[in-house]
Chain A
Amino acid sequence: MGVHENTFDSTLGAYLLLLPTLVAIVAFLYYPSLQTLRFSFFQTFLFGQNTRFVGLANFTELLSSQVYLTSVGLTIAFAAIVVVGSLAVGLAVAFLLYEVSDGKAAYLIAAIWPYALPTAVAGTVLLFLAHPSVGIYTHYIEAWFGVEVDWFTVGWQGFAVVAIAAIWKQIGYNVIFMLAALNNVPESLNEACELDGIETWRRLVRVYIPLMSPTLVFLVVINTIYAFFGSFALIDLMTQGGPTNATNLMIYQLYRDAFQFNNLGLASAQSVILFVLVAGLTFVQLRVSDRYAHY
C-alpha cells in the first residue's frame, strides 16, 4: 500500500521503532480500558478496600437511579446545545473571515485565540464576571433586561452559564477547521455565484455549507466528544454539579462516585456507559452523514 514501504527491510527494526508507542498504548490505553470493563462488574465497599463480583448490578443500579438518568438526559441536552452553539458561532465567524478582504491575518488571530484558552481559565473568569452578586455581566443584564440573575440557585441559569463557557472555549478550534474548508471552495464557484447574483447568505447556505459537509461532520463528532468529556473543569470550578444537580453532567457524577465516595465499581460502570454512549453517537453521526453529506 505505502509508497516508500520498501526503503528499509527489517521486520525487527520496524517493531523496535514501534515499541515505545505500542508499550504506551497497551499500558496506558488498552489495559486500563479493559480493566474499566472488568471493574464495572465488581462492587467496591469499605472505601475501596474490598471488592465483590456483582455481575450487572452496578448497571442496573445506575439505570434505575433517577439521579443518574437525569444526569444522562442533562448531558445529552448539554452536548446538543454546545455542539449547535459552537458550530453556529464558529460558522458565522469563519464565514466573516472568509469574506473579509483587508486585515485578514490580524482578524484571524484575534478570532481563533480561544483555541489556547484553558477550560479552567474560562470557568474561573466567567465565574467572577457572571457572579450573581459581584459579576459585572450580571449587573448589566439585570439593569438592562430587568431579569433576576442568580445562577447559584436557579438550575437552568447555572446550566446556561456553563454551556456558554463551553461554547466560548470551543469557537477557536471550529473556526480554524471551517475556514480551512472554506478556503478549499474553488474560486470558479465563487465567480459563478457572482455571475448569478446570488446573495451572500444564500451562498453560505446553498453552496458553502454543502461543500463543507465533510468538515462539519468531523466537527460535530469532535464537539460531541468535547461536550461529554471536556467540560469537567467548568463544572468543578463553577457549579460543582449544582444548583440542585442542574449541571451534574455524567463526567462529574463519575468523578464524585470514584474519587469522593470511593465507589470504584459504580464509577467504572459509568465509564463504560459513557464510552458506549459516545461511541454510539459517533457511529450514528458518521452513518447519517454518509447518507447526506456531499463528499
Chain B
Amino acid sequence: MSLDTEDTAVGTREDEPLSIISDTRLVPAQWRVHLGLIGSILLMASPLLLAFVMSTQTVPEVYDITNVGIGSDGLANYVEVFTTYGMASYMFNSLVMSIVVTVAKIAVSLLAAVALVFYDFRFKNAIFFLILFTLMFPVPVRIVPLYEMMAALGWTNTLLALTGPYVASATAVFLLRQHFMSIPDSLVESAKVDGVGPLRFLWDVLIPMSRGMISGLSVITFIYAWNQYLWPLIVISDQNKQVVQVGMKYLQSVGNAGQTDWGLIMAGAVLTLLPPLLALIVFRGPLLETFGLSE
C-alpha cells in the first residue's frame, strides 16, 4: 500500500490551485481504495485459504474448530484422495470432457462464423437468429428429453453424452462473427485474388489473426465445461466415468466412525478448483480482452 499517489490519481493537471484542492481530497481516497480492495479480496479469498489450511489437517485437528494452523497431515490428504478415492480418474474424466468440448466448440463455431461473414446466401439472417436464440434453452429446459435421447442412443456413461450437448455455441459463433467482420478489407481481397478456398483462408489467414479471441474463447469454454455439474450427474451413473464436480458429491460421504473427513474433502475441493483457476491466471490477458476488458 502506498500513499504517494497524487501524481497518478487524476491524470494530468496543469494549473496549480486546482491540484492543491484535488490532492487534499484524493490522498485519503486512494488510501481508502487500497483498504477497501484488500478487505474485499480477503473476504472473497478467505474460504479458500481456510479450505487449503484445513486440507492439511488430520481429523482431530479439523474438529478442533479454531485451529487454523497448517496441519500435521501435510499433503497426505491429497495423496489419499488421489490413490484411494478416485480423484485421479475424476480429474482425468473432467480434463478429457473439457478439452473435447473446447476444441469441438471452437472448431464448429469457426466454420459457422466463416459461412456467416464471408458468404451471401438465402436465410442467412434467419439462421444466425436461430443460433443466437439457443441461448434461451439452457440444459434444465430440455433435460428430460435430452436424457431420454441419450438413453435411446445408448450414450449414457460415455464421452459422447458428456460433450455432444455442449458443441453448439451461440456465444462463440457471435463473438467470432463480430471479430471476422472487423478484419480489414485489404486482407480479404488479397485472399480472393489468390483464389484460396474457404478452409485454406480460415487456416492461413483467419486463425492466425484471431489468436487472442480464440484463446479467450477457449479459456471461457474450458472453465464452463469443467464446472458442469447437473448434466454429468444425470447422464453418468458409472462412478469410474464420472467428472470431478460430481466426484465432490461422492467425497462427501467419506468418513470414519461417523466423523466426516473434512480435511480430505477440502483437499478434493482445492484440486477441483486448481485447473480452471490456473487457466484463468495464465490466460487472463486474452480472457479479459474477449470480455472487452484489457489490462
Residues of B near A105 (CB, < 8 A) are: 295
Pairwise interchain contact A99-B248, C-beta atoms closer than 8 A: no
Q: For the complex, is A67 an interface residue (Cβ under 8 Å from B)?
A: no
Whether A4 lies near B188 (C-beta < 8 A) is yes
A233 interfacial contact with B, CB 8 Å: yes
Chain A residues within an 8 Å CB radius of B279: 116
Give chain A residues whose Cβ lies under 8 Å from the Cβ of B277. 113, 116-117
B residues 133-165 in Cβ contact with A at 8 Å: 134, 136-149, 164-165
**Known contacts A2-B181, A125-B269: A183-B68 contact under CB 8 Å:** no
Which of these, B30, B40, B65, B265, contacts A101 with CB under 8 Å? B30
**A288 is an interface residue with CB less than 8 A from chain B:** no
Decide: A267 and B144 in contact? CB cutoff 8 A: yes
- Contact partners of A233 in chain B: CB under 8 A: 229-230, 245
Determine if B292 and A180 form an interchain contact, defined as CB atoms under 8 angstroms apart.
Answer: yes
Asked whether, in the complex, the Cβ of B108 is within 8 Å of the Cβ of A120, the reply is no
Interface size in chain A (residues, C-beta < 8 A)? 104
Q: Are A11 and B233 touching (Cβ within 8 A)? A: no
Q: Which residue of A lies closest to B122 (CB)?
A: A11
Q: A123-156: contact bitstring with B at CB < 8 Å (1 yes, 0 no)?
A: 1111111010011100100000000000000000
Cβ–Cβ < 8 Å partners of B41 in chain A: 107, 110-111
A 215-253 binary contact with B (CB < 8 Å = 1; else 0): 000000000010001001100110000000000000100
What are 21 inter-chain pairs, A to B, with CB distance below 8 A? A2-B116, A10-B119, A18-B127, A20-B108, A25-B168, A32-B149, A102-B2, A108-B284, A111-B37, A111-B41, A113-B281, A116-B223, A116-B280, A119-B227, A121-B273, A134-B62, A177-B293, A190-B10, A194-B22, A195-B18, A254-B140
A96-B37, A197-B21 known; 11 other A-B pairs, CB under 8 Å?
Answer: A4-B117, A17-B114, A101-B9, A117-B277, A124-B248, A125-B47, A136-B66, A194-B22, A229-B138, A233-B230, A254-B140
Question: B48-56, B71-79, B81-89, B207-215: which one contacts chain A?
Answer: B48-56
Q: Are B142 and A24 in contact (CB under 8 A)?
A: no
Judge whether A251 and B168 touch: CB under 8 Å: no
**Are the CB atoms of B115 and A14 closer together than 8 Å?**
yes
Which of B21, B45, B269 has the most chain A CB atoms inside 10 A of its CB? B269
How distant is A282 from chain B, measured CB to nearest CB, in Å? 8
Residues on B facing A (Cβ under 8 Å): 2, 5, 8-11, 18, 21-22, 25, 29-30, 33-34, 36-37, 40-41, 44-45, 47-48, 50-51, 54, 62-63, 65-66, 68, 108-109, 111-112, 114-122, 124-125, 127, 130-131, 134, 136-149, 164-165, 167-168, 173, 180-181, 183, 185, 188, 191-192, 198, 201, 223, 226-227, 229-230, 233-234, 245-246, 248-249, 251-252, 262, 265-266, 268-269, 272-273, 276-277, 279-281, 284, 288, 291-293, 295
- Of the stretches A33-41, A76-84, A205-213, the one at the interface is A33-41
Q: Which 4 A-B pairs have the closest CB atoms?
A: A35-B145, A24-B168, A32-B142, A14-B119
Contact A11 B121, CB 8 Å, known A116-B279, A124-B248, A275-B136: yes
A295 touches B (CB below 8 Å): no
Which of chain A's residues have a CB closer than 8 A to the CB of B127? 18, 22
> Which residues of chain B come closer than 8 Å to A267, judged between CB atoms?
143-144
Q: Measuring CB to CB, which residues of chain A are less than 8 angstroms from any residue of chain B? A: 1-11, 13-15, 17-18, 20-22, 24-25, 27-33, 35-36, 39, 89, 92-93, 96-97, 99-102, 104-105, 107-129, 131, 134-136, 139, 168, 171, 176-177, 179-180, 183, 187, 190-191, 194-195, 197, 200, 225, 229, 232-233, 236-237, 251, 254-255, 258-259, 264, 267-268, 271, 274-275, 278-279, 282
Contact of A99 among B29, B54, B138, B295 (CB under 8 A): B29
Residue of A with least CB distance to B251: A124
Do most interface residues of chain B lie in helix, strand or loop, or is the interface mixed?
Answer: helix
- Say yes or no: B144 contacts A258, CB within 8 Å: yes
B33-A99 in contact (CB<8A): yes
A236 close to B168 (CB less than 8 A): no
Asked if residues A28 and B146 are in contact (CB atoms below 8 Å), the reply is yes
CA distance A143 to B166 in the complex (A): 47
Q: Which residues of A contact B280 (CB under 8 A)?
A: 109, 112-113, 115-116
Cβ–Cβ contact B136 & A279, under 8 A: yes
Between A109, A117, A237, the greatest number of chain B beta carbons within 10 A of the residue's beta carbon is seen for A117
Which chain B residues border A99 with CB–CB below 8 Å? 29-30, 33
Partner of B134, one of A1, A10, A29: A29
Question: Are B142 and A271 touching (Cβ within 8 A)?
Answer: yes
Given A28-B167, A233-B230; A125-B112 close (CB under 8 Å)? no
Name the distance in Å between A120's Cβ and chain B's nearest Cβ. 4
Question: Bound state CA distance, A35 and B147, in angstroms?
Answer: 11
A33: B residues at CB distance < 8 A: 137, 141-142, 145
| Nearest CB on B from A32, distance (A) | 4
Pick from B22, B36, B185, B292: contact of A4, CB below 8 A: B185
A114 near B44: Cβ-Cβ < 8 Å: yes
